[in-house]
Each structure stands twice: as structure tokens, then as C-alpha cells.
A = this chain, B = another copy of it.
Amino acid sequence: MPPSRLKALNVIGLNSGTSMDGIDAALFRISPDNGCTVTNPRLKIEMLASDLYEFEPAFQKRLKSLIAKGQASLNETCRLNVAIAEVFAQAVHQLLKKSKLSTADVDLIGSHGQTIWHAPEYKDFWGVPTRATMQLGDSSVIAARTGLPVISDFRVKDMAYGGQGAPLVAFADEVLFGHDSVASGILNLGGIANITIINAGKATMAFDTGPGNMIMDQAAKVFFNSECDFNGAFAARGKINEAFLNELMQHPYFKLKPPKTTGREDFGKPYTDSLISRIEKEKITPEDALATLTALTAKSIAQSYQDFIAPQVRIKRLILGGGGAENATLKSMLLKYFPDKIELHKHEDFGISTKFKEALLFAILAYTTHFGIANNVPSCTGASRKVSLGTICCP
């Protein structure tokens, strides 16, 4: 497809993450920027509207329970695929209604759907080696309800080519931040912290460094009955317990070479419960505990950089996203532990809403697949080649 064919489109990105809080829905004007080519896509992004569509509480509860159980009747799985799609379509209509737009203002939808299972490790299944992932939210239903073409099933396609189906965000990071000569890290501080390293002309790297806010959030809840450590205020009043921090830094995940991913299975409630027991037993003050756990996130990121990134590329700036980007104590610790002098930025400095970055990712994937542009990042997912992710469903 010649780049001259590329043109501006209004694309809605839809996503419901593993937290199942609701559906991120956002409409973007995506257009080719100066110097954009199909092999080096450079896009201008303007967010026209955004909305979080909350699941009905009963629906959300049953969804979480079904996924936690990991079991369903075929009738449930089959109907859930349609039910999620109906709700995704409602999210589109709510987004448009709130922003006084209509489907006539939209060209395309990119929908991630809802992951109900993700099994990236190869295993024999009934005599067939498989790796697999499943996102529900049938694209036919979304297309029928909105009258818009829908591109979906991005992860399964990367897996079909031998990739892990993740991280997909590396492509958005390349498109958004990969076009000047400054080697950059894009650090998402969600529950888990993940980093993408963009180094113009060299292969992009991306992996989970370890905990983001997950441990801090639970500790803030237990010690201060607070939803999180807003702006790092509790941690700022404490002192890092160096002995305890050094011990925590021995977690085997930090030694694993990328590509690697982690989650609640490594750093979730059971792990944090054990840390809290230790903190209480050793009479570490709540403030010192928060300072130490904040340092754990910062130091594990800096250590990952030192061990796995710096030998190949030294970055000049770190572009922060996720809730942790609002944590001043965490940011100062990042600067302290980082072996190189770096500038800290936020996504918003580049006109990108970190809150709707996942929605933007799926809008960018839909836009690029629509124009036949390959949009997985094999150096990050392990896929055997670049390919346009997703399947296309016309209304």
C-alpha cells in the first residue's frame, strides 16, 4: 500500500483491561505526519473525545468471578462473547452522545475486547502444540450496533506468528515517541511497571520491570486506610530501610532476562501480605514502609535499566505514564537510582493522555491495519515477523 494512500481517519479505540474497571473508549483523529511511510509510520494524534464506560456492578462482579474461576459452560462463553460486545457497543454510543457526536463522525473502531484467558507458554493440547489468548467481544455485534467497521483480535494474530501476544504498546510508543534521535524510555507505572525503550534505528525493547503501584497501593490501604499514597506523601515522610530494601531486591523476577512479563501472580496480594507481616513484625513504621516500598519500585526499574538496557543503549529521557507518574516521591527516587542522568517527562508533555493510552493503542493498531501497515513489534513480542494485527469486520 503506497503511503500516498494514507489519509486522516477518526478512529475509536476500545479496551477493557485485566482490572475490569470498565471500558476505556476514546475517539482520535489520526493522520499521517510529515515523513510518514508504511515502514516508518509517523502519526499525528488528536484526541477528540474520551469516556470511561462503567460496567453494571452485577455484570462486572459476574465477569470477574467467571474469569477468576477459569471455568464456564460453553453456553456462558458463547453468550458472554456477545454480551461483552453489546456493552462495548453501548460504550461507543455513550462516548459519542457525551461528546455530541454521531457514528457519522467516525470511520473505524479498534477493539481490544476483554481478555478472558492468556496462555503465552507453548503447551501440548490434545496432541497439538498451542499457545493461545482469547479476547471476547464479538466484532460482528459491535459492527452491527454501530454501523462501523471494527478491527479486533490483535493479540491472537501476533501469537499465530509465534509471538507472546504482548506487549502491543511498543508499537504505539514507536509511532508516538520514536521519531527524533533521542533514545527514550517510556515507563508505564500501573499496578505493574513496564518499560519500552525506543532507540531510533535499533530494535525496540519492552518488558515488565516488576511492581509499579501494586505493592504501594496495598500498603497505603493497610497502614493509612488510603486508596493509594497520593503524590507519594506518606513515603516522603519516611526513611528507606536499606536492609529490607536490599532483601526485597533479591526477588528472582528482577534477575530474569527480558522478554519477560509479570503480574499479580508474583507481586499481588499474597506477596504483599507477606511483606506487611514482616513490616509489622520488625516494627518498621508505616512511613518508612511506604518509603521502602516506593524505593523497591524505583530501584527495580533502575536496576532493570542497568542490567538489561544500558549495555545496549543509554537513554536520555524517561516518559512516564500511569498513576505512578503522579507520585513525586517515586519520581525523585527514580532520578536518584538511575545510573544515567535523565530527564523525566509525562505523556501529557507530548499531548498524549496516559489515561486513554490503551484506547489510543487500539485506535492506532486499527488505523495501521486498515492501511496494511505491519504493527506488531517482533523484538518485543518474539513474533517471527512483522504483520498487520487483527481481523476486519465490516458492518
Residues in B with CB closer than 8 Å to A78 are 116-117, 119, 132-134
| Contact, CB under 8 Å: A393 / B58 | no
Q: Is A131 an interface residue (CB 8 A)?
A: yes
| Contact, CB under 8 Å: B391 / A387 | no
Smallest CB-CB separation from A145: which chain B residue? B160
Task: Please report which residues of chain A, range 70-87, place their CB below 8 angstroms from some CB of chain B when the two chains form the complex.
Answer: 70-83, 85-87
- Pick out which of these stretches binds chain B: A120-128, A179-187, A249-257, A350-358: A120-128
Q: Is A235 an interface residue (CB 8 A)?
A: no
With A58-B127, A144-B160, A153-B140 in contact, is A117–B70 under 8 Å at CB? no
Q: Is A139 an interface residue (CB 8 A)?
A: yes
| Contact, CB under 8 Å: B130 / A391 | no
With A134-B81, A393-B157 in contact, is A72–B75 under 8 Å at CB? no
CB-contact partner of A74 in B62, B67, B138, B388, under 8 A: B67
| Contact, CB under 8 Å: A86 / B140 | no
| Contact, CB under 8 Å: B75 / A119 | yes
| A123 CA / B63 CA spacing, docked (Å) | 17
**Interface of A with B (CB < 8 Å)?**
56, 58-59, 62-63, 67, 70-83, 85-87, 116-117, 119, 123, 125-134, 138-141, 143-145, 153, 156-157, 159-161, 372, 387-388, 391-395
Q: List 22 A-B contacts (CB under 8 A).
A: A58-B126, A72-B74, A72-B77, A75-B119, A77-B117, A78-B116, A81-B132, A82-B130, A82-B156, A83-B128, A85-B160, A138-B153, A140-B160, A140-B391, A143-B160, A144-B161, A153-B393, A157-B393, A391-B391, A392-B392, A392-B393, A392-B394
